[in-house]
Chains A and B, each alone.
Chain A
Amino acid sequence: GDSVTQMEGPVTLSEEAFLTINCTYTATGYPSLFWYVQYPGEGLQLLLKATKADDKGSNKGFEATYRKETTSFHLEKGSVQVSDSAVYFCALASSNDYKLSFGAGTTVTVRA
């Protein structure tokens, strides 16, 4: 079945550091890919998404490119802030299914 594997955390960074969170997937067909962010005690918010190969999703300085050849959707941000401290989830939606398959989440802590 479809699945998502993302980098284990926790990840601790200093402000203005470069952030990468790796995400790879297994799926049949042409899935849509998502990054969600969860701040402490809250629900998930959509951060960005990409619906076809080579698409780049971007939002709030975060970017991720849908790479079909490597089945990856790595999340990057060039200069993190303390307010970026959160749990980040990579997710996949199959082209013919209702379900979102989530990775286990990566906890990111940014220190001033």
Chain B
Amino acid sequence: AQTVTQSQPEMSVQEAETVTLSCTYDTSESDYYLFWYKQPPSRQMILVIRQEAYKQQNATENRFSVNFQKAAKSFSLKISDSQLGDAAMYFCAYRSYKIGNQFYFGTGTSLTVIP
């Protein structure tokens, strides 16, 4: 099974500041997708950003961007200008054709935003 590791169980950031969440993964494949999902207290998983492994350019969605290092198998999420609404659990996930359609999730990082 694929392994996705999030080594930071908890993180905190001051409102308007920048925070980076870490994720590493283990795979022998060259073509796959990586995702960051946000799970607020409402429990619904919301897609934040995704990266296709064959694309070298890092994905960006408004205040959210990733640092994708394929050789290092690292996929970190940077949140700029943090807002109170960013407080949630963040999950890194992996998906590829060869292992079926399912997501492999990391254990999550709980992000607290301090006003």
Q: Do A and B come from one complex?
A: no
